Amino acid sequence: MEKKILVELKHVSKRFAKVLANDDVSMEIKEGEVVALLGENGAGKSTIMKILYGLYHATSGEIFIHGEKRDISSPKEAIASGISMIQQHFSLIPAHTVTENIILGHCKGKIDYKAKEKEIQDLADKYHFAVNAGEYVKNLTVGAQQKVEILKALYLNSKILIMDEPTAVLTPQEAEILMQFVREYVAKGNSVVFITHKMKEVMEVSDRIIVLRNGRVSGTINEEEVKSVKETELVNMMIGHALEVLKSPGGEEENPKVRFSVSHLSIIPKDEVPILSDVSFEIRGGEVLGFAGVSGNGQQELCEAIYGARTINTGEIVLDGEDVTHLSITERIRKGIGYLASDRYKYGMVSDMSLSENLMLKASYLERWVKHGIIQWKKVNQDTEKIIADYKVKAPDYSVNIGSLSGGNQQKLVVAREVDMGRNLVIFDQPTRGLDLGAINYVHKTILKEKELGKSILLVSTELSEIFALSDRIAVLYKGRIMGIYRNGEISTDRIGLLMAGVGEKEATNG
């Protein structure tokens, strides 16, 4: 029996000034199906869904809901039509309870709060969400917060749920719970649009796959083809060519010399719980130590402590036999430590500065580009042009502002700067967050190249596939404590997921 079409987009285009984000896009969403929306960064996936949700207005084209032409000018109108969108960045108020967040803006007059709390709790229980309706959002894990966002949509009786990169911050177990919800939700005749770059998820839950490239639909995989389609076919649709196959990590015995170590490091703010507690590890030359964990468990603070941007209470940091614990950031840079921060917009670049200016942001006091206190701009520009060529940065030249580039090209330049600065140790904190498959592949290739040069590499990532692909050994961090350090291959994804959730090694093994 042919499924009923709920939503149809016909010849939709969206232009932002000179940028054509969507170009003549047509697609449909049917009753009781999961539609996966695939594509690189800038392919137009989020844009086309934001048009459907009323956050953006199409430059041209038409939207039909239940066969009726509609002009959705706001999220309020979309919600009234049964469409909800859960975006990558949650829109919750930490100081309010789960119930307060869900009913906010949707109740008038005197509210029977206890009745509403019971209604929300019943809804959570119906979908097997382990969420306390009376709990404050600030006390919830990231995974539980996402469930609250979903409950907001369910409370409004949404029939179409748009989920933008929904598993980016979840443990494997939380991701599986989410997938189970998606299956149950569509089984009731509802529909889900799943925006993701994770092929495993696409193959697991999708009924149809729509691939966007450069703002246009480059291919559609129908329901009868989904089970047989190969990942390589989808990659070709997304980026126009196959990804380069990367060499898997080697063993740590290749270079037994320890080049970097951290011993008993703790960060304990006054009158607060510890951010890091008695953290100890070592990294050999030519080794990648991957730190797995859900965001917010002390990973960023650990990186900042190593780099000198955060004061520690106790502990010792040693690089190539030298104690660098109390050196300034400038002195650590001189010692050959590079640090790729997790948020390039906030910590890694200045959007209104040129590529050349961003390249030498952290090196204006080094002799490389400075002579008698004067910056040698000709040399800086020449080096920037070389990086543009070597890293295949899509930019006209060294003089354009870095903010005018795509996210992937911005990251390439920032990565190039940090691996250049990090002659001995490079810290990569979420190096591929928000990047498309092509850019991810390039960053991964760069990390493995630096490993081959004998550098010590510290990799922090919430993507377990990335940790497994690049790391020689894997450390799991939970609430500022190391739950264990393992050779790559001796621990399963499930066990790591349990450790990421705070389940101890003994419990993880027994479970």
Average pLDDT over residues 457-484: 92
pLDDT digits (tens, 9 = 90+) for 247-285: 655 544 555 789 999 999 999 988 888 999 999 999 999
For residue 249, the model assigns a pLDDT of 57
Calpha distance 34→131 (Å, rounded): 25
Nearest Cα to Cα of residue 87 among 21, 166, 167? 166
Nearest Cα to Cα of residue 164 among 185, 180, 186, 149? 149
Give CA separation, 430 vs 44, 90, 168, 422, in Å.
23, 19, 11, 17
Average pLDDT over residues 471-484: 94
Q: CATH 3.40.50.300 residue ranges in the chain?
A: 5-239, 254-353+417-510
| Higher pLDDT, residue 193 or 363 | 193
Share of the chain above pLDDT 70, in %: 93
- For residue 244, is pLDDT > 80? no
Any idea which residue has 């207005």 for tokens? 57
Calpha distance 484→471 (Å, rounded): 15
| 315 and 393 Cβ atoms separated by less than 8 Å | no
pLDDT digits (tens, 9 = 90+) for 352-369: 999 999 998 888 777 788
For residue 467, the model assigns a pLDDT of 92
What does DSSP say about strands 425-429 and 337-340: parallel, antiparallel, or unpaired? parallel
Q: Which fold has domain 5-239?
A: Rossmann fold (3.40.50)
Q: Hey, which bits of 31-74 come out as E strands?
A: 34-38, 60-65, 68-70
Average pLDDT over residues 449-471: 92
For residue 508, the model assigns a pLDDT of 43
| Class at the top of the CATH hierarchy for domain 254-353+417-510 | alpha beta
pLDDT digits (tens, 9 = 90+) for 383-432: 999 999 988 888 888 999 998 887 778 888 999 999 999 999 999 998 98
Calpha distance 502→468 (Å, rounded): 20
Largest CA distance in the chain: 79
Q: What is the pLDDT confidence band of residue 204, given thresholds at 50, 70 and 90?
A: confident
pLDDT digits (tens, 9 = 90+) for 216-228: 999 898 888 888 8
Question: What's this model's pTM, rounded to 2 decimal places?
Answer: 0.68
- For residue 84, is pLDDT > 80? yes
- For residue 307, is pLDDT > 60? yes
For residue 254, the model assigns a pLDDT of 54
pLDDT digits (tens, 9 = 90+) for 308-335: 999 999 999 999 999 999 999 999 999 9
Alpha helices for 188-298 (secondary structure H): 199-205, 223-226, 231-239
Rounded to the nearest angstrom, the gap between the alpha carbon of residue 82 and the centroid of all alpha carbons in its chain is 28
Average pLDDT over residues 74-101: 88
Any idea which residue has 């959570």 for tokens? 124
State the average pLDDT for the chain. 87
**Bridge partners, 193 (sequence order):** 35, 162
For residue 506, the model assigns a pLDDT of 46
- For residue 451, is pLDDT > 90? yes
- CB-based contacts of 300, cutoff 8 Å, min separation 6: 342, 429, 460
For residue 507, the model assigns a pLDDT of 47
Average pLDDT over residues 122-126: 90
**The one-letter amino acid at 160:** I
